[in-house]
Amino acid sequence: MLSLQQLKALVDEMQSELVGGQIRRIDQPHAWNIVLEIENKGSLHLLLFSTHRHHARCHLITKRDLNPLSPPPFCQLLRAHLRYKKILSLEALEHDRIVRLRTAWQEGEAASEITLLAELKGSDSNLLLLNAEGKIFGTQYTSHRRSLSLGASYQATTIKPPLLPITEMPRLASLNASAEHFFRALEEKETRETAKRNLLFKYNHEIRKNHRRLSRLSTRLLEVQAASRFRNLGEILKMHLHEIEAGASQFQTSDPNDPDAKPVLIPLNPVLSPTENMAQLFKQYKRGERNIGAIQSAIKIVQKKIAQLDTEKVKAMTEEAVVNAASTAYPSAAKKKRKEEKAGPPRYRSADDIILIVGRDDLENTCVTFEIARGKDLWFHARGVPGAHLIVRMGRQKDLPHQSLLDAATLALHFSRSKEDGKGEVIYTQKKYLRKVKGGKQGAVLWTQEKTIHIAIEPQRLARVLGSRW
């Protein structure tokens, strides 16, 4: 941290270059930095006010930083009240870490006078705008330690800055040049360290998330692999159907597959007949067998993703990658806009590289069907059960290739209540044959001219389509 004497010396050195000049431009390249471009006697000067919690300061700089596309609110306020005004005085107060910049349209125009106060006090640093009567009408930060009400008279803070080591700057052509050289190197180093921490957090978060998913899939695989026991129970029940009483909730007998012929207790649904109970057991067995392939494919995809993230993490920790990340650390409006544009219903690609768009809830179903889809796009939905609306982008194609038809139907069935059965009917029709249900709930539609396809989910096909999400 600069000492009071260093701060005063810096301000004294720049007075001759700035007093009498005109403020031409105001930027806020970082949340804590304000830069005034001042023209005086044919020369341009850049005055930095920094309220950084560890490096609060005020000095001239020669290099500009990149600015966000949209100026922050406090920067807009400064532009509205300080731009094109003349600097009447610049001074560091004698016994406090406060720098005062007085401006007006012309010397002697008291009514137009605006003062920018820079309180450079560590974590309590702040910039304030005062009108001609000394009343506050703008602050860079609010404070929980003092009242900074708009319209209130300014009272100098009694907060003392933390005791930090006094900055020892290299000796260059001037104090201001020394300050710029020292603090720029310091902040660039801190920015790189912050970028590195953020990159590490990002990759570790994704890796942990995929490990959790892998754990869930592994547990699920063990469960479905254990489904073979349902086949054994079904076979046992089959041999003893004539012994089971109607309405029984369980049946006990010896296990013929056990060398010791240990007793086995088979739970039954008393509502179902013995034959129907047996059919249920075989159905549970077949369901588990069908899911094994899909789960194993999903496990391989997640394992590949973890290995990829581990590799990318190592590359991202190189000095060049960290510097690149640090140079783009300030969020811009363009990046935010691109992120918002990517949000919404997920998109997949079929075997023929045709786009498939899926609604994940009632709101997205309405969006997919009535906002995104066009007249000749195909609409898919599992018949007779709640599920996703799926749109196939047809573009200029007249017919949908068979493999893409199977991909779309598989995905529609996967995102429906028929997923657990592993097979079912899917209807499809052109979007132009759909209409909303008058007074119906979100996502409800009526359709005509539909076709039906009966399909069983193929694990390999499903894994490929799910892996194509973009």
| Cα separation, 142 vs 150, whole angstroms | 11
The answer to whether residue 64 sits within a structural domain is: yes
CB atoms within 10 A of CB 66: 12
Bridge partners of 454? Answer: 425
- Residues 9 and 154 both lie in one domain: yes
E-only strand ranges, 67-208: 86-92, 98-104, 114-119, 126-130, 136-139
| Cα separation, 122 vs 156, whole angstroms | 15
Bridge partners of 92? Answer: 99
- Residues 368 and 440 both lie in one domain: yes
pLDDT at site 420:
86
- Whichever domain contains 39, its CATH number is 2.30.310.10
The answer to whether residue 332 sits within a structural domain is: no
- Residues 267 and 310 both lie in one domain: yes
The answer to whether residue 348 sits within a structural domain is: yes
Angle subtended by helix axes 228-239 and 274-316, to nearest 10: 170
The answer to whether residue 382 sits within a structural domain is: yes
- Residues 9 and 83 both lie in one domain: yes
Q: Which two tokens stand for residue 174?
A: 């001037």
- Residues 11 and 160 both lie in one domain: yes
- Residues 10 and 155 both lie in one domain: yes
pLDDT at site 334:
41
- Residues 10 and 73 both lie in one domain: yes
pLDDT at site 339:
46
- Whichever domain contains 278, its CATH number is 1.10.287
- Residues 98 and 53 both lie in one domain: yes
The answer to whether residue 34 sits within a structural domain is: yes
User: Hey, is 381 helix, strand or coil?
Assistant: strand
| Cα separation, 160 vs 57, whole angstroms | 15
The angle at the Cα of 20, spanning 14 to 26, to the nearest 5 degrees, equals 75
Give the number of domains in the chain. Answer: 3
- Residues 261 and 389 both lie in one domain: no
List the domain range (segments joined by +) for residue 434: 344-466
Tell me whether residue 48 is exposed, middle or buried, using C-beta atoms within 10 angstroms of its C-beta: 0 to 12, 13 to 18, 19 or more.
Answer: buried
| Cα separation, 429 vs 274, whole angstroms | 42
Domain boundary (134, 168, 202) is at 168
pTM above 0.85, yes or no: no
E-only strand ranges, 198-299: 250-254, 263-267
- Among residues 111, 147, 148, 144, the alpha carbon closest in space to that of 129 is found at 148
- Residues 22 and 145 both lie in one domain: yes
- Residues 224 and 117 both lie in one domain: no
Residue 357 near residue 374 (C-beta atoms within 8 A): no
Written as one letter, the residue type at 85 is K
Domain boundary (168, 203, 238) is at 168
| Cα separation, 89 vs 104, whole angstroms | 10
Angle subtended by helix axes 175-225 and 274-316, to nearest 10: 160
The answer to whether residue 336 sits within a structural domain is: no
The answer to whether residue 185 sits within a structural domain is: no
Q: What is the pLDDT along the chain (470 residues), one digit of tens a residue?
A: 678 888 999 999 999 999 999 999 999 998 899 999 999 999 999 999 999 988 899 999 999 888 888 889 999 999 999 999 999 999 999 888 999 999 999 888 888 899 999 999 888 899 999 999 999 999 999 877 777 888 889 988 766 665 555 567 777 889 999 989 999 888 888 888 888 888 889 899 999 999 998 998 888 788 777 676 788 888 888 888 888 888 888 988 888 877 787 888 888 988 899 898 889 888 877 776 767 777 888 899 999 999 999 988 888 777 666 556 555 544 444 444 444 444 578 999 998 889 999 998 988 999 899 999 999 999 999 999 999 999 999 988 889 999 999 999 999 999 999 888 889 999 999 999 999 988 778 788 999 999 999 999 998 889 889 988 87
Q: Cα–Cα distances in Å, from 470 out to 345, 353, 461?
A: 11, 12, 17
Q: Containing H/E element for 241?
A: none
- Residues 357 and 427 both lie in one domain: yes
